[in-house]
Amino acid sequence: MGSLAPELVPRHIAIIMDGNGRWAKSRGLPRAAGHRAGAEAVREVVSACQDLGVEFLTLYAFSSENWNRPQKEIDSLMSLLERFLKSKAQEFSDKNVRLRSIGRTELLPPSCRYELDKAIEATKGNTGLTLILALSYGSREEITDAARRIVTKVQDGELSLSEIDEQHFADHLDTAQYPDPDLLIRTSGELRLSNFLLWQLSYAEFYVTQKYWPDFRKSDFLEAIDNYSRRNRRFGRV
């Protein structure tokens, strides 16, 4: 793929990183090995986003439903997250990446929450790619929480019903400070949103690959961007 005009590069990309467990199973490895292997794909995609000038990248790292997995796997995922944050904080600072998170992160183990808060604080002044980790995140929960906040404001007299519109509702979501994703990438061939950014993905372009996330590399990412650049986004217009 040659160089793309800036207007053909998605401003915000969201990724459902799926297939770690199946990748490991196909190799006779424990599921934890698949999650560890997926970390390399994250590194390559972050690097590719920086090369292309993508402004925002949201990764579905741990869903609210993932808490229902076996405790051993949850512990492994939390340990991996903690190590990832520890090892990448300085690298993010050096490469001008700003780290942020969405979701009910208060449910993370204290040590994970500490490393997350530390990395966010260390990179808050960076002006390059904003990397948003969706952790303990579920879109239905997010939308429900936003509705509760709006109802509370109405009850307290801070807001009238006539003031509530789409933008006002969006301003109460976890993603209020970010633009909606232009492109959603999902690995492993599954054709569903899995409770991810249901509101924000209303007009996003979808790209699905059969590759498992640990096998997803920069060349695959560039292929997705090339596919996106050739689409005609009409937003309901002719």
Spatial separation of the C-alpha atoms in residues 213 and 17, rounded to whole Å: 5
Q: The dihedral of CA 156, 158, 161, 164: what is its sign?
A: negative
Query: Helices 71-94 & 31-52, crossing angle to 10 degrees?
Result: 30
Alpha carbons 186 and 211: distance in angstroms, whole number: 9
Q: Residue 235 and residue 202: Cα distance in Å, rounded?
A: 10
Tell me how far apart the alpha carbons of residues 116 and 113 are, in angstroms, rounded to a whole number: 5
**Active site (annotated) includes residue 232:** no
Q: Which of 18, 174, 182, 220 is catalytic?
A: 18
Beta-carbon neighbour count of residue 106 at 10 Å? Answer: 7
Catalytic one of 66, 126, 195, 227: 66
Distance CA 200, CA 169 (A): 11
Q: How crowded is residue 57: how many other Cβ atoms within 10 Å of its Cβ?
A: 23
Closest by CA position to 88, among listed 43, 44, 55: 43
Give me the count of residues in the chain: 238
195 is catalytic: no
Residues recognised as catalytic = 18, 66
